[in-house]
Amino acid sequence: MAAKSIDHAFTATDMTGAASDPTYAGALSFMRRKFTKDVAGTDVTVWGVPFDAAVSNRPGARFGCQAMRRASAIFDNDPQYPFHADLFEALSVADYGDCLLDYRLPETAHSLIEAEAEDLLAKTGFLLTLGGDHSITHPLLTAHAARHGKLSLVQFDAHQDTWPLAKDAQGHRRVDHGSFVKAAVEDDLIDPATSIQIGIRTHAPEVCGLQILHGYEIEEMSATQIAEAIYERTGGTNVYLSFDIDCLDPAFAPGTGTPVSGGPSSAKILAVLHHLKNLQLVGADVVEVAPAYDHADITAIAGATVALYVLGNLAEKKGR
């Protein structure tokens, strides 16, 4: 246990080590990590992308970054379950804050996200992004592919996000939260042959070559079997993990823009994530948390816990 302190996000002198703020007080960075724009040399940088102008249903995911940071306060101080350890004893993690976007010019958002992600990836070992709607994954994939080469996408989602790419009057391609996978395949950012989608409960016109584990299939599979399918598909390649919170059934994640019944529980999917510590993970995001539709922070807590499991797996891998 760290010495008692308050506002660890501002008073911390190191990127490692637990905080001791009361759960109900203190500056709300993600898991009380130090707020800083100097992330050079860190193992992980957490940042927020508060953008939701590319949704086809209910807006509100722009507030997801704040909600997950707030929910993450309950994780601090104790050894983190199920990792049996202070994740920050050796893993240096900073909270960079949020990407600055102009709400008057939503068409500029993706290029700004990509540029800032590229800048951060040049300084930090791993970028963990809190969204934001799922369209932000396209510029994130662009930035990560520029650094790591073509990626394998592991996508937890109720939707395939492979809808046709519309164009505006000037012929510019429009990428929204339902078409980013289609765009990623067209742009050669991901390899469909090593990519997989888990929890799909809707139809789209195209599969685009990705493997799909439908909602009804994972209902009958164990967490170990789901993880084994992910390992088999990705085959040791560089993996980008994108977690749309609507992968979970609305009973476990009501606070999202396009909920779909028939999904898995948070317990089952967290068990899957715990099995994925041996993936060659190079980046991750948690998106589509829309707290205006939430109840008692259920969805924000689920989203923050997914991010916690990403950090836990990275910490365990570093500690080997």
Binding residues for Mn(2+) are: 134, 157, 159, 161, 244, 246
Question: What's the distance, Cα to Cα, between the start and end of the chain in Å?
Answer: 22
Residues annotated within the binding site are: 134, 157, 159, 161, 244, 246
Q: How far apart are CA 281 and CA 307, in angstroms?
A: 13
- For strands 34-35 and 93-98, give the pairing: parallel
CB atoms within 10 A of CB 147: 15
The DSSP element (H or E) to which 127 belongs, if any, is: strand 127-131
Q: How far apart are CA 256 and CA 287, in angstroms?
A: 9
CB atoms within 10 A of CB 167: 10
The two three-digit tokens of residue 306, written as one number = 């997914």
- As a residue count, the chain comes to 320
266-274 vs 223-234: helix crossing angle, rounded to 10: 50
For the chain, counts of helices (H) and of strands (E): 9, 9
